[in-house]
Amino acid sequence: MAITCEDLLQYLSDYIDQELDEELTEVAQEHLATCHNCRVVLDSTQQTIFLFREHGPRQIPAQRRQRLFDQLQAAFLAKEPG
């Protein structure tokens, strides 16, 4: 069984919280081992959670927030099929 990037994003929160069953966790790990974009999303999400827990909520300026969103969207659109 293989999953797509979109599938992984659906399960990302549960993956981070270690709430997936063993089979789905294994499939997610296999995907992450071969997909750079998904690893970046996972790492960024984990870092964001860590920073939030350590420092509380912070406001991101609208221009920077839009630039970050644009970069994430471009990364997903540019990904190689796999």
Report, as an integer, the average pLDDT of 30-37.
Answer: 95
Q: Which residues contact residue 72 at a Cβ distance below 8 angstroms, ignoring those fewer than 6 apart? A: 41
pLDDT computed for residue 8 by the predictor: 92
The CA distance from 66 to 35, in Å, is 24
Domain boundaries, the chain: 5-78
Q: What tens digit of pLDDT does each residue of 40-72 get?
A: 999 999 998 898 888 877 788 999 999 999 998
The CA distance from 70 to 51, in Å, is 22
* Main-chain dihedrals φ then ψ at residue 58, nearest 5 degrees: -135, 150
Regarding pTM above 0.85, the answer is: no
Other Cβ atoms closer than 10 A to 45: 15
